[in-house]
Structure 1
Amino acid sequence: MYSFAQRNDTVVADEPLYGHYLSHSSAKPFHPGADEILSKMETDGEKVVEGMLGPQQKPVAFFKNMSHHLIQLDWQFMQAGANIILTRNPEEMLLSFSKVIDKPGMEDVGYAMQLKLVEYLQTMNLPFVVLDAKKVLMDPEGQLRKLCDFLGVPFEKRMLSWSKGPIPEDGLWAKFWYKNVHLSTGFQPYEKKEIVFPEHLLPLLGECQPIYERLVKHAL
Structure 2
Amino acid sequence: MRIAMWSGPRNLSTAMMRSFGARGDCACVDEPFYAHYLLQTGLDHPMRDQIIASQPHDWRAVRDALMAPVGQPIQYQKHMVQHMLPEVETDWLNGLVNVFLIREPERVVASFSAKRGAPSPAELGFCRQRELFQQLRTRGREPVVIDSADIRRAPEVALRALCKAAGIDFTERMLAWEPGAKPEDGVWGAHWYDAVNASTGFAGPEAELPVLEGKLANLAQSLQADYQAVAAHKLVID
One fold, TM greater than 0.5? Answer: yes
1:186 to 195, 201, 216: 201
- Secondary structure at 1:219 match in 2: coil
Could you say what secondary structure the match of 2:232 adopts?
Answer: helix
Answer yes or no: is 1:15 the counterpart of 2:16. Answer: no
Deviation by residue 1:68-102 (Cα, 9 ceiling, x = unmatched): 11112111111121000101011111111123321
The offset of 1:197, in angstroms, is: 2.2
Asked if 1:88 corresponds to 2:110, the answer is no
Q: Distance in 1 between the 2:132 and 2:69 partners?
A: 25
Taking the TM superposition and a 5 Å limit, the aligned residue runs for 1:66-81 are 66-71=80-85, 72-81=87-96
Q: TM-score scaled by structure 2?
A: 0.87
Q: Which residue of 1 aligns with 2:4?
A: none
Write the distance in 1 (CA, Å) between the matches of 2:115 and 2:50.
17
Question: Partners of 2:154 and 2:224 in 1: how far apart?
Answer: 23
Q: Does the 8 Å contact 2:147/2:234 carry over to 1?
A: yes
Instruction: Flag the 1:126–1:26 CA change in 2: closer, same or farther, 3 A.
Output: farther
Distance 2:209 2:220 in 1: 16
Q: 1:160 aligns with which of 175, 179, 191?
A: 175
Match of 1:5 among 21, 29, 46: 21
The alignment's C-alpha RMSD in Å is 1.4
**Whole-angstrom CA distance in 2 between matches of 1:24 and 1:49:** 16
The answer as to 2:128 corresponding to 1:113 is yes
Q: How many angstroms does 1:194 deviate by?
A: 6.2
State the match for 1:38 in structure 2: 52
1:197 paired with 2:182, answer: no
Q: Which amino acid aligns with 2:186?
A: G
Please list the CA deviations of residues 95-119 of structure 1 after superposition, one character each: whole Å capped at 9, or x if unmatched. 1112332121111110001100111
Query: What are the ranges of 5 or more consecutive residues in structure 2 without an aligned counterpart?
Result: 1-16
Question: How far off its partner does 1:127 sit?
Answer: 2.5
Q: 1:56 to 1:107 in 2, by over 3 A?
A: same
- Report the equivalent of 2:12: none
Q: Please report how far the alpha carbon of residue 211 of structure 1 lies from its aligned counterpart in structure 2 after TM superposition.
A: 1.6
Which residue matches 1:123? Answer: 138
Equivalent-residue separation in structure 1 for 2:46 and 2:115 (angstroms): 8
**Preserved CA contact (<8 Å) 1:53 1:80:** no
Distance 1:54 1:141 in 2: 31
Deviation for aligned residue 1:42? 0.8
**AA partner of residue 70 (structure 1):** M
Q: How many equivalent residue pairs?
A: 218
Contact 1:100/1:177 (8 A) holds in 2: no
Task: Please identify, of 125-134 and 7-16, the stretch whose mean Cα deviation from structure 2 is larger.
Answer: 125-134
Q: Which runs of 5+ in 1 are unaligned?
A: none
